[in-house]
Amino acid sequence: MHNDLEAHRKLRQMKKLYDLVLRLVGYTVIVLMAAMLILVVVAVIFRKAGHSISWYDEFAGYILVWVTFWGAVVALERRRHIGFESLVELLPFPLQKIITSIAYLLIIFLNLVLIKYGWRLTTELVGETAITLPIPIGYINLVIPVTASLMLILCLIQIVDVWTKREEKGS
């Protein structure tokens, strides 16, 4: 009985941490999108005034990359990536579980590739700086292995969810 209570307490703590991390990722995407919008608007105003900002387009491009990767984490957690739900839902429930699990396994494979090569890219370019900004390119590319690691964990959690889900009435 004590072990069950302890395990349940640890699961609740892990769930709180999981929710906190995902909330922070969501806020990160919002902040990055707002920063990109402000940066581009300010750059346009400066250009119209005859004073171009030389670094804004490079910086906006890096922000866009970060929004893309962090947004992919949010989309995966919310199960909003492109899929064939309508087709899968036509299948018998046990087959739905298998097809969905295969899809998550493919995403896991992709994320393993992103982790491996994203880390390699990060470490190889950590000494290089951006063209117009004094930012190490390796730090910019760090978003690749970090978000791929988060998505890999999310896929594992979602595979467990698939196999613990019960068939709904009318399925």
| pLDDT of res. 87 | 86
Tell me how crowded residue 31 is: count the other CB atoms within 10 A of its CB: 13
Q: Which long-range contacts (CB under 8 A, 24 or more apart) does 163-170 make?
A: 163/97, 163/101, 165/97, 167/93
**What's the whole-number mean pLDDT along residues 44-62?**
93
Determine how many CB atoms are found less than 10 A away from the CB of residue 11.
Answer: 10
Strand partners of residue 129:
136
Predicted pLDDT of residue 64: 96
Instruction: Kindly state whether residue 144 falls inside one of the protein's structural domains.
Output: yes
Residue 171 within any structural domain of the chain:
no
Q: Name the residue range of residue 111's domain.
A: 2-164
For residue 169, being part of any structural domain is answered with no
171: pLDDT strictly greater than 50: no
Tell me if 106 is assigned to some domain.
yes
pTM for this prediction: 0.86
Q: What is the pLDDT of residue 151?
A: 96
Residue 138 lies in a domain: yes
> What is the three-state SS of the chain?
CHHHHHHHHHHHHHHHHHHHHHHHHHHHHHHHHHHHHHHHHHHHHHHHCCCCCCCHHHHHHHHHHHHHHHHHHHHHHCCCCCCCHHHHHCCCHHHHHHHHHHHHHHHHHHHHHHHHHHHHHHHHHCCCECCCCCCEHHHHHCHHHHHHHHHHHHHHHHHHHHHHCCCCCCC
Q: Which pLDDT band holds residue 170 (cuts at 50, 70, 90)?
A: low
Domain membership flag for residue 99: yes
Could you read off the pLDDT of 113-164 as tens digits, one per residue?
Answer: 999 999 999 999 989 999 999 999 999 999 999 999 999 999 999 999 898 8
Q: Residues of the chain with pLDDT > 70: what percent?
A: 97
Instruction: Note whether residue 16 is domain-resident.
Output: yes
Is residue 90 within 8 Å of residue 138, measured between CB atoms? no
What would the pLDDT profile of 81-96 be if each residue is shown by its tens digit?
Answer: 887 788 888 899 989 9
pLDDT score recorded for residue 1: 62
How many domains does the chain contain in total?
1
Average pLDDT of the chain, as a whole number = 91
